[in-house]
Structures are given as structure tokens and as C-alpha cells.
A = this chain, B = another copy of it.
Amino acid sequence: MNLMINTSECPIETVIHVLGGKWKPRICRHLIESTKRFSDLEKLIPAVSQKMLTQHLRDLEREGVIERTIHPVVPPKVEYALSDYGKTFIPVLEVMSIWGQNHIERKPEEPAS
């Protein structure tokens, strides 16, 4: 339904399932900073389409990682924030982030010849 992984057994795949959409890591990073509304995220991630942003926000909400709050005003105001449960995800993201950072720096990879 979402990525490509039948999640029913491997916990690592589960994490990838939760985080594995093209924009989800970025969305999470912004929401770790602070609550954001839809239009904020659009500005922060200019390359994402509305469809994809909506879809990935819904996915993260379904997983319980983020919360969506609708303020019934006009024009509509919808805020997205990490849930308490989502906050338990922060350390995981941090560990990944540190390794990823190091991996990027390590990369230059030997030039040909």
C-alpha cells in the first residue's frame, strides 16, 4: 500500500516502511524542529507536490508518528506535529543521521585508474 515492503516480520523493514517515502525523512526533520502547517511544509520542501505531501503526511499519521490538527477557521488551518509516540522516533532518526552523515563524508570513492 505504501512502499514495497511486506512488513509483517522484520523490524528493520518496519522502520523503512514508516520512513520510506521520498519526502518522509525531510518531513520528519522539519516536524522535529516544530509544529508546521501544510503550507509551511510546502515552502520548506519546494520540490514536493501537494499530492505527495498529503499522501506522506497521511502515511505518517496512520503510523501514529505525527498528529494532524484541524482548526476550523477560514481559510482552513491544519497543523502537523510529532505525536508523543513520534517523539520516541527521534533517537532512531538521530542515530541514522549520524551514520548517514559519516557515510556521505566517506563517499568520495576512489577515482578511476
Binding site for B on A (CB under 8 A): 4-5, 7, 10-16, 18-20, 22, 25-26, 28-29, 63-64, 85, 88-89, 91-93, 95-104, 106
| Copies of the chain in the assembly | 2
Q: By the criterion CB–CB under 8 Å, are B22 and A10 in contact?
A: no
Q: How far is the CA of A41 from the CA of B61 in the complex (A)?
A: 36
A1 smallest CB distance to B (angstroms): 14
Q: Which of chain B's residues have a CB closer than 8 A to the CB of A99?
A: 11, 15, 88-89, 92
Q: Could you tell me the dominant secondary structure of chain A's interface residues?
A: helix
Q: How far is the CA of A97 from the CA of B101 in the complex (A)?
A: 20
Known A20-B16, A22-B5, A96-B96: A103·B63 in contact at CB below 8 Å:
yes
Selected from B11, B64, B98, B106, the residue in CB contact (under 8 A) with A96 is B11
Q: Which of chain B's residues have a CB closer than 8 A to the CB of A102?
A: 88
